[in-house]
Amino acid sequence: MLAQNILKIGDFVEQLKISDPRTKLDPWLLGPVLILLALGLVMVASSSMPYAEDKMAGNEYHFLTRHGIYLIIAFTASLCALQLETRFWQVYGPYLLILGVVLLMAVLVIGKEINGSKRWIGVGPLTLQPAELMKFFIVIYLAGYLVRRSDEVQTRVNGFIKPLVLIGLIVGFLLVQPDFGSSAVIVATALAMMFMAGAKLWQFISLTLSVSAVMALILVQAPYRLARLTSFMNPWDDQFGSDYQLFQSLIAFSKGDWLGVGLGNSVQKLSYLPMSHTDFIFSVYAEEFGFVGVLFVVALFIIIFNRCLKIGRRALRMEEYFSAYLCYGFGFWLSLQAIINIGVASGALPTKGLTLPFISYGGNALIMSCMAIAIILRVDFETRRKEHEYDEVKRAYGGSDE
């Protein structure tokens, strides 16, 4: 079985080597992602070693080793996703969503509680985080729904509301964990996908305002969320209490100045900024690489988002609607999460427990993000191949579109 899978991957790689340049993997999407992954490996090493040496019995390479293992898993999973036709995800999307809901229920029963949150299921030496899988699954399911119910979504209110009822159930499970950050990303991604699928503007605006009001109510009802909101608005009033993490993050940004203090020279990672290799890894990066380095990473995410939209638009022109909605959904998900993480680290947004895609330590997020990019690359490959075949047929009939 393993040998057969290896042969299949080899056959697909051979397909990518055909002479027509339009059938090759998009370097403007793959390139920035590979750069971010390499940068993430370097930053996990830089930011985690002091913490690991202190907390992991002197093993300073603990988190770097695990991150390397997750990278290998992510590359393997991405290669497998790359050889699957897009049709596969359309067929199995509903089943993946059911699997995600089951995992969200299971984590509340058998999950590991860390720092007051029950978000992880132990799988041997590794952990499974259902919330990260659900971000991936919900995009696939919703893309299929928008194809099946396109007329309802574009002409009737109930077609717009039906999927949001399901999303509301999923958000309910996430809030029990609690995981407000993932809930916000899933809701925003779903709304963006439905808008791109042709939902009426007045429906989109009214529902967005309603959802925003509900999310704001949920935000202020929990004391710890309210504390995060107030600390974001004034990070200087309790520097050694509720504002501590944000305060230390802002210090890292200020020390970075224009060009940074140099790789490995961050001071804030030396037990000042808690768990700096996860949600606040961008703060250490800003300190070591400065404002120029920050602009570089932001530019890479802009390029990725732009390519996702362009690939989606090309699929839409070829009437590959499911593929187009996949690209839109994955593009919005990864970009929104990047915006939130960078906004939190820089003090522009309230603190949320969200990783920075491709960079932060965290295996589940890394694997799902890489698989999403692999599917987008597959969509681009299939769309370019279809365009090429269409052009060949058109030339064979003397340039006629008929």
Check residues 201 and 130 and name the one with the higher pLDDT.
130
User: Residue 122: what pLDDT?
Assistant: 79
**Is the confidence at residue 48, as pLDDT, over 70?**
yes
CA distances from 316 to 143, 182, 235, 306 (A): 12, 28, 45, 15
**Is the confidence at residue 14, as pLDDT, over 70?**
no
Instruction: Give the whole-angstrom CA distance, residue 324 versus residue 144.
Output: 11
User: Residue 18: what pLDDT?
Assistant: 42
User: Residue 30: what pLDDT?
Assistant: 94
pLDDT tens track for 50-64 = 888 877 767 888 889
Check residues 222 and 62 and name the one with the higher pLDDT.
62
b or e along 164-192 (b: 16 or more beta carbons within 10 Å of the residue's beta carbon)? bebbeebbebbeebbbbbbbbbbbbbbbb
Q: Could you give the percent of the chain with pLDDT greater than 90?
A: 42
Q: What is the SS3 assignment for 66?
A: helix
**Is the confidence at residue 5, as pLDDT, over 80?**
no
pLDDT-derived band of residue 223, with 50, 70 and 90 as boundaries?
low
As a whole number, the mean pLDDT across the chain is 84
pLDDT tens track for 304-342 = 999 999 999 999 998 899 999 999 999 999 999 999 999
**pTM, whole model, 2 decimals?**
0.88
Instruction: Give the whole-angstrom CA distance, residue 60 versus residue 53.
Output: 4
Q: Is the torsion defined by CA of 114, 116, 120, 124 positive or negative?
A: positive
**The pair of three-digit structure tokens given for residue 232, joined into one six-digit string:** 């974001």
**Is the confidence at residue 17, as pLDDT, over 70?**
no
**Is the confidence at residue 99, as pLDDT, over 80?**
yes
Instruction: Give the whole-angstrom CA distance, residue 372 versus residue 102.
Output: 21
pLDDT tens track for 154-210 = 777 777 778 888 888 898 888 888 888 888 899 889 988 988 887 777 767 777 777
